Amino acid sequence: MGKATGFIDYERKTAKVEEPLERIRHFREFRTPLPLKEQQKQGARCMECGVPFCQNGGMLAGMASGCPLCNLVPETNDLVYSGNWRQAYERLASTHCFPEFTCRVCPALCEAACTCNLDGEPVATKENERAIIEHAYEEGWVTPQPPKIRTGKKVAVIGSGPAGLAAAQQLCRRGHQVTVYERSDRIGGLLRYGIPNMKLDKQVIDRRIRLMEAEGVVFRTNTDAGRDLSPGELRKQFDRIILACGASRPRDIDAPGRDAGNIFFAVDFLASVTKSLLDSGLEDQSYVQAKGKHVLVIGGGDTGNDCVGTAIRLGARSVTQLEMMPKPPEKRAETNPWPQWPKVLKTDYGQEEAIALYGHDPRIYRTTVKEFRKDKNGNVKKVITVMLKTERDESSGRVRMVPVEGSEKVIEAELVLIAAGFLGVQQYVADAFKIDLNERTNVKTGENGYETSVPGVFTAGDMHRGQSLVVWAIEEGRQAAKAVDNSLMGYTNL
């Protein structure tokens, strides 16, 4: 695949990135892709490695290695190299519902497992995919694909995040009538309100939704199934139901003073900013205010980083980010060999911007909150932090993080954003549909299955597997669609 010596002849090149102090002035995407001719050279870097771990999509040491969608990575890279862009699009679309989403937000599991990454820099597969899908849109190749024959079967999809959208697209193209219910005012779920605009422009979502509507998918917003619409009504109207409501129960911080004002969950903060941006360009001021405030972000993952970047754009006076775990190494440890996911230090766009603006990395490792302190109005004013150390539990053998006595410090914090992850499906959804949950509070299904404990009710995405990546949610949606189709028809050709 590619050019036999391409990984030697050409250096890895990626999109031009706007300088941090410039891009913090706006909420637009800030990466300018390479010209197509230059991108073709990046396709040439895909070597004939023999065993393409990039498209494996397997689990190694408890973490994904390679593309969960099993995209035909070497083939698409080769087609990019040869300039066969339409073929490249058709090959990519055969395994992937929404490459325009993942090429912007995926951490590129394919690149981490690339053979070139063993001793060098991986093929720029993520940006090759972006070039493929955006060129396909420009050329008019991405068109509605309504089914020629309708089956007469009806499916309700609850939730319009990546899992729900993927399931809806696949089932609609199969010939079933699909209606997607979304409790928010706009379609997209976490794509819409959990990922900032500068990372995923919402016009990208709208473009795909218009295509799905043209294919026959019906969207219903401002409808909370389980509250506004009873499961009994849904069962009367539809032959099958797919629950794709996400793992939307945020993990809280149990510390004295938690009832102080101006403490928000990260997704609520991000959603308020995005909604205001879409409604009025932030003119309505109806978002969580960060201007002039000392902002503390609790959590070091992608959502925490998005909070850092968003707070900076809103004019935060300072941003500090707490991370419970130790600082990762800059290079792979011997116990973390390729092609496992590399557990190494990653400085994302928000942290880059904080370094450029404030002069230092906002992250403090091995640290958590011990106490929130209030001002006279009951709002958070300061936070008492404590350092953590690893300790092995003798009874279970598990390693846990415990406080270090005497390590307390005081941090000014007038706005606190909790980005500590999620604990599974919201209880009211499980109660309404009377579905069983597992010990992780995710929806319980049979092994490698998607049907819940209630016949005819299926599940997909974070609601099924727990908090995860957009690419995994899309794969979950595709697999759930296959299960539903097989349930309805007795076989499936999805």
Whether 436 and 392 map to the same domain: the answer is: no
Whether 390 and 441 map to the same domain: the answer is: no
Q: Which residues pair with 261 in a beta bridge?
A: 379
Residue 485 lies in a domain: yes
Phi, psi of 416 (to 5 degrees): -120, 130
By residue count, the chain amounts to 494
Domain boundary among 374, 399, 418: 418
- The bridge status of strand 399-403 relative to strand 16-17 is unpaired
- Tens of pLDDT, residue by residue over 123-144, are 999 999 999 999 999 999 999 9
Residue 350 lies in a domain: yes
Task: Give the global pTM.
Answer: 0.96
- Token digits of residue 103: 């090429």
Q: How far apart are alpha carbons 469 and 69 in whole angstroms?
A: 12
Give the pLDDT confidence score for residue 396 in this predicted structure: 78
Domain boundary among 383, 403, 418: 418
**Letter string b/e over residues 23-42, b meaning 16 or more CB atoms within 10 A of that residue's CB:** bbeebebbbebbeeeebbbb
Taking residue 55's Cβ as centre, other Cβ atoms within 10 Å add up to 19
Whether 287 and 194 map to the same domain: the answer is: no
**Whole-number Cα distances in Å, 478 to 52, 242, 336, 460, 483:** 23, 12, 31, 9, 9
Domain boundary among 72, 104, 139: 139
To which residue do tokens 């490249």 refer? 88
The answer to whether 153 and 242 are in contact (CB under 8 A) is no
CA 465 to chain centre: 13
**Whole-number Cα distances in Å, 302 to 51, 127, 262, 308, 425:** 30, 19, 22, 10, 20
The answer to whether 397 and 403 are in contact (CB under 8 A) is no
Q: Classify burial at 107, counting beta carbons within 10 Å of its beta carbon; exposed 0-12, middle 13-18, buried 19 or more.
A: middle
- Token digits of residue 253: 């911080």
- Tens of pLDDT, residue by residue over 334-360, are 999 999 999 999 999 999 999 999 999
Q: Which residues pair with 319 in a beta bridge?
A: 295
How far separated are the first and last CA of the chain, in Å rounded?
27
Nearest to 343 by CA among 359, 326, 357, 358: 326
Q: How far apart are alpha carbons 420 and 368 in whole angstroms?
A: 11
The answer to whether 244 and 258 are in contact (CB under 8 A) is no
Nearest to 489 by CA among 94, 150, 96: 150
Task: Supply the CATH number for residue 68's domain.
Answer: 1.10.1060.10
Dihedral sign, Cα of residue 261, residue 263, residue 267, residue 269: positive
Whether 287 and 409 map to the same domain: the answer is: yes
Give the pLDDT confidence score for residue 471 in this predicted structure: 97
Residue 34 lies in a domain: yes
Give the pLDDT confidence score for residue 1 in this predicted structure: 65
Residue 144 lies in a domain: no
Q: How far apart are alpha carbons 488 and 282 in whole angstroms?
A: 46
Whether 33 and 123 map to the same domain: the answer is: yes
Task: Supply the CATH number for residue 274's domain.
Answer: 3.50.50.60
**Whole-number Cα distances in Å, 353 to 70, 120, 194:** 34, 27, 20
Q: How far apart are alpha carbons 68 and 469 in whole angstroms?
A: 10
Q: Which amino acid is at 203?
A: Q
Please give the residue range of the domain that contains residue 198.
154-248+423-489
Q: How far apart are alpha carbons 132 and 80 in whole angstroms?
A: 8
Residue 341 lies in a domain: yes
Residue 149 lies in a domain: no
The DSSP 8-state label assigned to residue 229 in this structure reads B
Q: How far apart are alpha carbons 111 and 124 in whole angstroms?
A: 7
Residue 147 lies in a domain: no
Residue 113 lies in a domain: yes
Whether 282 and 402 map to the same domain: the answer is: yes
Mean pLDDT by 10 residues, the chain (494 residues): 87 97 98 97 92 90 90 96 98 98 97 92 97 98 97 98 98 98 97 97 98 98 93 96 94 96 98 98 98 97 97 98 95 92 95 98 97 98 96 83 95 97 92 94 91 97 95 97 98 95
Dihedral sign, Cα of residue 169, residue 112, residue 103, residue 321: positive
Q: Which helix (H) or strand (E) holds 9?
A: helix 6-9
- Token digits of residue 208: 């795909």
To which residue do tokens 């999809």 refer? 157
Total of domains in the chain: 3
Q: Classify burial at 147, counting beta carbons within 10 Å of its beta carbon; exposed 0-12, middle 13-18, buried 19 or more.
A: middle
Bond from prior residue into 339 cis (ω within 30 degrees of 0) = yes
